[in-house]
Amino acid sequence: MGSESESVCVTGASGFIGSWLVMRLLEHGYNVRATVRDPTNQKKVKHLLDLPKAETHLTLWKADLADEGSFDEAIQGCSGVFHVATPMDFESKDPEAETHLTLWKADLADEGSFDEAIQGCSGVFHVATPMDFESKDPENEVIKPTINGLLDILKACQKAKTVRKLVFTSSAGTVNVEEHQKPVYDESNWSDVEFCRSVKMTGWMYFVSKTLAEQAAWKYAKENNIDFITIIPTLVIGPFLMPSMPPSLITGLSPILRNESHYGIIKQGQYVHLDDLCLSHIYLYKHPKAEGRYICSSHDATIHELVKMLKEKYPEYNIPTKFKGIDDNLEPVHFSSKKLREIGFEFKYSLEDMFVGAVDACRAKGLIPIPIPAEKTEAAEESNLVDVKVG
């Protein structure tokens, strides 16, 4: 599986995970159908069109998970589909996009809008998910569209008759959201939906929607004999293509950004490099014996371990060391990637690699400040000059 002439579809392709996956698929020689909500929005799709091979190997298709059937055309004729629903998918020039990339308009809220993009593809990578943490009607605006959108992707794959495998990017939020944390989680664990509904913690509707959507998808896939795989990433960190700050980095870099409301999310954190995650998608898509759910997580770190590393690497930032309401003696919580490793996948990146890549990308895009060393600030004040450097 995985010939150079093979067509695959990636949903949510303009996002944090989706765009990097598109880049890697193009490098592997695939013809990529990338679904986005609006292919005409240059701000949202330029980073895809600038990829190497985009001109010959990439097409953009309009589709939306809220639009039933909107993925049908994009998926038709594909041998693989990557539905990259990311836990937090809140935009570097790459030349190969000019020949291997096409943009398609699709929306998860528009049933059938993905059909045309999927038609003729051999694989589909579904990376899109509706997400609104401040929704006033979460059942109808977040939960139902997420479930129905994923089922619509499955139906489009079934209608296409060419799709051999659907790879779905699930979320760690489907695994460990419950009242009491276990020391170790694996693919057999599921989040407690009723607990989420009763406590209504930040993002509760996201955890509920992702859990119920994946469970519904497994039922549909088994009933209709669809080769379906789910990849469950933990917090995804690393360099990125999209022009705006990815939501997972708002959380991961919260000690640098001083986003106190996110500290609780990373107090017992698990992490994976964006590149490792995308390479695992391609690896499992190509592997003939891959089946079921796969946790994709390479490193665990408490918030205290994380800030120790960040302070050593970036002393110029005022990174806190004490966190209100968070125990100084936390034990790590482990997400086991044993199943993924046993099928032969090898992680390439360290925890430091992830965060250095993320910080460098954010600095290059002007998304986080580059502090001026104190001695330069003092010298500038003395001479009444402002010393500003970019890079």
**CATH number of domain containing 40:** 3.40.50.720
DSSP three-state, residue 245: coil
Cβ neighbors of 208 (< 8 A, separation 6 or more) are: 138, 143, 193, 196, 197
**Cβ(158)–Cβ(119) below 8 Å:** no
| pLDDT in single tens digits along all 391 residues of the chain | 555 579 999 999 999 999 999 999 999 999 999 999 999 999 999 999 999 999 999 999 999 887 889 999 999 999 999 998 543 333 233 445 555 666 666 766 677 777 777 777 777 676 555 555 556 788 888 899 889 999 999 999 999 999 999 999 999 999 999 999 899 999 999 999 999 999 988 778 889 999 999 999 999 999 999 999 999 999 999 999 999 999 999 999 999 999 998 898 899 999 999 999 999 999 999 999 999 999 999 999 999 999 999 999 999 999 999 999 999 999 999 999 999 999 999 999 999 999 999 999 999 999 998 886 654 444 434 433 444 333 3
What is d(CA 14, CA 60) in angstroms, rounded to the nearest whole number? 10
Total residues belonging to the chain: 391
**Which string of DSSP letters, residue by residue, matches 74-112?**
HHET-EEEEE---TT------TBHHHHEEEEEEEEEEEE
The structure tokens 């594909």 sit at: 78
The structure tokens 């937090």 sit at: 88
The three-point CA angle 248-144-62 to 5° equals: 70
pLDDT of the residue at 298: 99
Q: Domain range spanning residue 186?
A: 7-242+273-297+332-345
**Cβ(15)–Cβ(22) below 8 Å:** no
In a domain? residue 168: yes
In a domain? residue 108: yes
DSSP three-state, residue 119: strand
- β-pair partners for 81: 9, 166
**Cβ(74)–Cβ(115) below 8 Å:** yes
**Which string of DSSP letters, residue by residue, matches 136-150?**
SSHIIIIIHHHHHHH
Rounded to the nearest 10°, the torsion over CA 103, 296, 167, 80 is: 70
In a domain? residue 42: yes
Kind of pairing between the strands at 268-273 and 299-302:
antiparallel
In a domain? residue 257: no
Q: How far is CA 347 from the centre of its chain?
A: 17
**Cβ(71)–Cβ(39) below 8 Å:** no
In a domain? residue 236: yes
Alpha helical stretches, state H, 174-301: 193-199, 204-223, 247-252, 254-257, 274-286
For residue 11, which of 212, 226, 205, 167 has the smallest C-alpha distance?
167
In a domain? residue 144: yes
Give, for 313, the enclosing helix (H) or strand (E): helix 303-313
Q: What is the DSSP letter of 12?
A: T
What is d(CA 270, CA 260) in angstroms, rounded to the nearest whole number? 18
- β-pair partners for 66: 109
Task: Count structural domains, the chain.
Answer: 1
In a domain? residue 315: no
In a domain? residue 305: no
What is d(CA 150, CA 242) in angstroms, rounded to the nearest whole number? 24
Kind of pairing between the strands at 7-11 and 58-71:
unpaired
For residue 256, which of 354, 329, 353, 359 has the smallest C-alpha distance?
359
What is d(CA 212, CA 175) in angstroms, rounded to the nearest whole number? 11
Entry pTM: 0.84
